[in-house]
Structure 1
Amino acid sequence: MGGHLVEITSQSEDDFVRSLGTGPSHIGLNDIDNEGVHVWISSGNLAFGTFTNWKVGEPSNGGSGEDCVEIRAQGRWNDVPCSLTRLYVCERPIIFV
């Protein structure tokens, strides 16, 4: 359907995603290719220098292999293993007909 994991670019978008009430959910941010360099999957934009909402102490790469990012129920972000089973939040462009 043309969607992709959500790219959160503002506090209002972060608040909206949190308001969906999905609990911990994957978002479209990862550092799979280069540890510590978080990139949005859909656009390839770096998270550095743009809006982020990391939980205190994150990203931590705790236990190593935490390459994907989730949004927690409180709206804060946490790095987690990509293999961790989580819900996910997608977005897609508005299509006018």
Structure 2
Amino acid sequence: MVSYSSYVLIAAAALLATCYALPKYPAIPGLPGIPRLSGRDDLKGQTRLSGFREASGSLVGPPRKQLTCPQGLPNSLNTELHKVLVNLKHRLSRLKGVLVLKEKIREVGEKILASNGEKVDFASALASCENARGTLATPMNEEENKAIMGIVKKYNRYAYLGIREGEDSGQFKYLNGTPVNYTKWHQNEPNGKRTEKCVEMYTDGNWNDKKCNLSRLTVCEF
């Protein structure tokens, strides 16, 4: 739901800005929508097109009417849209506060963490998070690791993390393929020797490499 509000705000901003982004030049005759430029511009003295001309110097083709765009929204509609966005942000903020209070979600830095309480294999957990427009929880530092651990302890179940073993044995990477830059391995871990390619978090926050086909708690980040 929080991610959805971001889409709404971005869409509204794009709606208000679209008309102002159009070029303020007349179109090249015969080629509607392409700006007609003349003379030398300020880009390091490069000569720009001055339109297509015949040998006589007259412009080729009849002049075309330039397409124009209204300069923004009417004041009444602009004000109403602003009120709707402010109200939406307020309602979403209150909803987020309720979810945090009931421990349905956890905030850490720019991330929001949540779990549906389901225990599934790695592939299913990842698919569930991606379907919700997120990904598997991936701790990038101690603060994020503690936040994920809070959810793991709440459900008292181990959870898969968004980390997998790469092609080289013992080299673990994030889901985007980059090597991990923060780890919290349990003593003597990882020790799977390419037989345990996924990573789970214990209820104490430590990590263990594990097979990917076991049932573990789904924890997503957004």
TM-score by length of 2: 0.37
Structure 2: gaps (5+ residues) = 1-131
**How many positions carry a matched residue from both structures?**
88
Q: Structure 1 7/56 Cα, relative in aligned 2: closer, same or farther at 3 Å?
A: same
The correspondence of residues 4-83 of structure 1 with structure 2, limited to 5 A, is 4-20=135-151, 21=153, 22=155, 23-41=157-175, 43-47=176-180, 50-61=181-192, 65-83=195-213
Taking the aligned partners of 2:137 and 2:160, their CA distance within structure 1 comes to: 9
* Secondary structure at the counterpart of residue 89 of structure 1: strand
Q: Structure 1 80/74 Cα, relative in aligned 2: closer, same or farther at 3 Å?
A: same
Aligned residue in 2 for 1:95: none
Taking the aligned partners of 2:195 and 2:212, their CA distance within structure 1 comes to: 8
Taking the aligned partners of 1:7 and 1:61, their CA distance within structure 2 comes to: 20
Larger relative helix fraction: 2
RMSD of the TM alignment (CA)? Answer: 1.5
Considering only CA atoms, is the larger Rg found in Structure 1 or Structure 2?
2
Equivalent residues of 1:35, 1:67 under 8 A apart: no
Structure 1's consecutive aligned runs of 4 or more residues displaced over 6 angstroms after TM superposition are none
Report how far residue 32 of structure 1 moved.
5.0
* Secondary structure at the counterpart of residue 146 of structure 2: helix
Taking the aligned partners of 1:4 and 1:29, their CA distance within structure 2 comes to: 11
| Larger relative contact order (Cα-Cα within 8 Å, sequence gap ≥ 6) | 1
Residue type at the aligned position of 1:38:
F
Structure 1: gaps (5+ residues) = 93-97
Taking the aligned partners of 1:6 and 1:90, their CA distance within structure 2 comes to: 5
Q: Structure 1 32/82 Cα, relative in aligned 2: closer, same or farther at 3 Å?
A: farther
* More displaced 10-residue stretch of structure 1: 28-37 or 67-76: 28-37
Identity %: 28
